Amino acid sequence: MNKQRVKWTLLVLAIVVLAMELFQPKHTNPMVIPSRSLGSHVTVPESVQSVLQRSCYDCHSNATVWPWYSHVAPVSWMVVDDVNTGRRHINFQDWEAQENEKEAKEHLGLICKEVRTHGMPLFSYRLMHRDARLSDQDVKTLCAWSEPFAADDGAADGQEHEHHHDHHADDHDSDDHKH
């Protein structure tokens, strides 16, 4: 009787896994229009651009490199959700999607906080993409470039901004990463 139960359980499990594979989320890479990109609106030094492309572009651009596991359910659902969430929050290749200049500066100013507290790149992303991990020098480079935007936005004078981000709070390896 136990063998029969195990066989049925395995059969049902196999059917569920196959069904999950049939319902894959859409993997998109919208067209890049250079005039809408971050570099068309603010100066981005090559050293900063290099770090952004290596560690941020898979989720925060239209040039996502979709790894093999992003096509295997249920992981595919999580990866596509992370990319879509990242793009909605800040898309370096669709910078004109920012609501206004103040929001754009706020997002740039927050880059330093995110990388200093290890909020970005996401811990789950760093696990699978070792080259995306930021060195101390990478963090210094990003902060030196992005902090002036925070100062322009008033964040440097201690003002807290009421701006909520749709990050996965349980995906960060730091509890003090809250918006």
pLDDT digits (tens, 9 = 90+) for 57-77: 999 999 999 999 999 988 999
Q: Parse the chain into domains and list their residue ranges.
A: 27-171
pLDDT digits (tens, 9 = 90+) for 78-93: 999 999 999 999 999 9
pLDDT digits (tens, 9 = 90+) for 107-150: 999 999 999 999 999 999 999 999 999 999 999 999 999 999 88
- DSSP, residue by residue, the chain: -HHHHHHHHHHHHHHHHHHHHHSPPP---PPP-GGGSGGGTS---HHHHHHHHHHTHHHHSS-----GGGGSTTHHHHHHHHHHHHHHH--TT-GGGSSSHHHHHHHHHHHHHHHHTT-SS-HHHHHH-GGGPPPHHHHHHHHHHHHHHHHHHTGGGTPPP-------GGG-S-TT---
